[in-house]
DNA sequence: AAAGCGGGCGACCGAACGTTCGGTAGGAGC
DNA sequence: GCTCCTACCGAACGTTCGGTCGCCCGCTTT
């Protein structure tokens, strides 16, 4: 028979991403996790080495997915302005489409034990991703297409704008994802004083797909019983 | 004699803002707090009603300070473009100058018990602040000065850009705070298609001053002994 | 000198934490 | 029929959590 190997593991990851994004890693207990998937806390440990290893797994796969998707998107694209446009629209789209995963990815780095192998690995992955942005900005400046006061400032400001999307975007809001991306690309190109051009946005089908990302709207992890008030 | 009433209370708040910003509220224990100010956990409770009340106090004062400063800044200013410029530069400057306080203010709302009086109060304060942004944008659109696809989208994108500043700004970086503010105002006005104008930025002396905000660079809370590795 | 008092300490509480362990139900392979 | 193996549970481990209680020290007031 089909072993359906990681079915339970996937359900655990789905619940973990949701709870970590909602309450934060430190405020989520293994027992919370078990309750969300209809298991005892002991059962969780048959699928997960430790709470921190679970977080590290989620963050590694998320970060690698983003890097791989970015590499694919940027491959056929030469001009710095186009590359910057793709970086902006893809980062925005990933944060809009996978808000829970990206919230954990962006905000829980501090929950990994500093100096641990997992911590260092995630930092290296994050640096590898940011290198794409640094390169695009530096190329545009070297080419004379971009005029920026401070490349680091510009990069961090634009990335903040994109990553913030996970905090507010709703698919049933007033703007479609395509409109959001186009708008952000326009703002980004204005920020580097590049001439407004034919708008290039990312092909959404090339974006990473996280199997554990819950559906966008309301998703309630409680299986059959009400959750305790979490007084503490 | 001067009772110097809140000296210890102020030291507790300083340590709390630092630890909450660094590790998060849930990952910070009362004993961590006590260690940072050279006290036992029991001693802390002579100055603080509860851990959550301490967080609520910090958030309330921070949010009220921001609202009050914004009110003062906006008072003598009529044109929507100028008001938007002031909102952008003041929000950016507060996040650059008080990164620890603003990180707690922006990121720890979820740590307040939902439905509690404190939680509702902070939400009401946050809504009161956002009303300034909504008003400025709506006025500009009504007046015909701004052209935006979606006011909510524009507002949240610009606010994300400003609040992100607390995550990366360093006073010894490549850009001065004035340059950052001017740049962000330019980006913001471009985002609403307002004509580039004489740049209006906030008077920094009108910004709120949080007595507990630690000095910007490295600030080490350990009083005399090394900190345990925080294994758990 | 005696009394009052605020600030802090040591000891402690019940609960929850991450994690481990022995055991067991059920299906697959021989 | 017997033996594995996977998946999970009940119970407990030692530790840490937020918070309380009683006492004591050093200061002020009288």
Q: Are B207 and B97 in contact (CB under 8 A)?
A: yes
Nearest residue on chain A to B188, alpha-carbon basis: A187
Q: Does pLDDT of A198 surpass 70?
A: no
Share of residues in chain A with pLDDT > 90 (%): 78
Share of residues in chain A with pLDDT > 70 (%): 90
Residue where the block lists tokens 């339970």:
A8
How much is the pTM? 0.89
Q: Which nucleotide is nearest to A52 (CA to C1')?
A: C18
B190 interface with A at CB cutoff 8 Å: yes
In whole angstroms, give the CA distance from residue A4 to residue A204. 29
- Give A203's pLDDT tier (boundaries 50, 70, 90): confident
The pLDDT, as a whole number, for residue A225 is: 40
Strand C proximal to B39 Cβ, under 7 A? yes
Q: Is the Cβ pair B156, A179 closer than 8 Å?
A: no
In whole angstroms, give the CA distance from residue B84 to residue B74. 9
Of A111, A153, A191, the CB nearest to B175: A153
The pLDDT, as a whole number, for residue B232 is: 36
Q: Does pLDDT of A55 surpass 90?
A: yes
The pLDDT, as a whole number, for residue A204 is: 87
Q: Mean pLDDT over all residues of chain A?
A: 89
The pLDDT, as a whole number, for residue B212 is: 87
The pLDDT, as a whole number, for residue B43 is: 92
Query: Which ranges of chain B have pLDDT less than 50?
Result: 1-5, 219-232
The pLDDT, as a whole number, for residue B161 is: 97
A156 interface with B at CB cutoff 8 Å: yes
A173 interface with B at CB cutoff 8 Å: yes
Q: Does pLDDT of A173 surpass 50?
A: yes
Q: Is the Cβ pair A107, B107 closer than 8 Å?
A: yes
The pLDDT, as a whole number, for residue B199 is: 72
Q: Is the Cβ pair B164, A160 closer than 8 Å?
A: yes
The pLDDT, as a whole number, for residue A217 is: 64
A150 interface with B at CB cutoff 8 Å: yes
Q: Does pLDDT of A184 surpass 70?
A: yes
For A138-157, write each residue's pLDDT tens digit. 999 999 999 998 999 999 99
Q: Does pLDDT of A115 surpass 60?
A: yes
- From the CA atom positions of chain A, what is the Rg in Å? 19
For testing contact with chain B, the best of A168, A179, A186, A230 (most B CBs within 10 A) = A168
Å from B195 to nearest chain A CA?
A: 13
The pLDDT, as a whole number, for residue B194 is: 84
Strand C proximal to B230 Cβ, under 7 A? no
Neighbours of A201 (CB within 10 A): 19
Which residue lies nearest C20, CA-to-C1' measured? Answer: A42
The pLDDT, as a whole number, for residue A218 is: 55
The pLDDT, as a whole number, for residue A228 is: 39
For A12-50, write each residue's pLDDT tens digit. 999 999 999 999 999 999 999 999 999 999 999 999 999
User: Which residue has better confidence, A229 or A45?
Assistant: A45
The pLDDT, as a whole number, for residue A2 is: 34
Residue where the block lists tokens 């400063």:
B69
For testing contact with chain A, the best of B100, B148, B150, B163 (most A CBs within 10 A) = B150
Strand C proximal to B47 Cβ, under 7 A? yes
Nearest residue on chain B to A92, alpha-carbon basis: B157
In whole angstroms, give the CA distance from residue B36 to residue B56. 20
Residue where the block lists tokens 């962000």:
B184
For B103-143, write each residue's pLDDT tens digit. 999 999 999 999 999 999 999 999 999 999 999 999 999 99
Q: Does pLDDT of A93 surpass 60?
A: yes
Q: Please provide the distance, in angstroms rounded to a whole number, between the alpha carbons at the two ends of chain B.
A: 46
The pLDDT, as a whole number, for residue B100 is: 97
């Amino acid at each position: 028979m089909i072993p359906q190997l990681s079915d339970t593991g996937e359900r655990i990851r789905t619940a973990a991403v949701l709870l970590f994004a909602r309450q934060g890693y430190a405020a989520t207990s293994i027992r919370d996790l078990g309750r969300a998937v209809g298991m005892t806390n002991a059962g969780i440990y048959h699928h997960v080495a430790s709470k921190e290893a679970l977080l590290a797994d989620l963050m590694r796969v998320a970060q690698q997915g983003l890097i791989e998707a970015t590499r694919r998107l940027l491959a056929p694209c030469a001009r710095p302005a186009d590359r910057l446009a793709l970086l902006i629209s893809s980062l925005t789209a990933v944060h809009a489409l996978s808000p829970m995963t990206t919230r954990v990815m962006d905000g829980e780095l501090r929950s990994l034990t500093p100096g641990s192998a997992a911590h260092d690995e995630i930092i290296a992955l994050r640096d590898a991703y940011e290198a794409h942005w640094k390169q695009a900005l530096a190329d545009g400046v070297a080419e004379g297409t971009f005029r920026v006061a401070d490349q680091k400032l510009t990069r961090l400001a634009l990335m903040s704008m994109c990553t913030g999307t996970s905090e507010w975007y709703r698919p049933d809001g007033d703007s479609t994802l395509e409109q959001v991306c186009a708008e952000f690309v326009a703002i980004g190109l204005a920020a580097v004083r590049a001439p407004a051009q034919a708008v290039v946005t990312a092909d959404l089908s090339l974006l990473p797909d996280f199997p554990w990302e819950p559906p966008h709207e309301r998703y309630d992890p409680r299986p059959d019983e009400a959750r305790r008030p979490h007084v503490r």
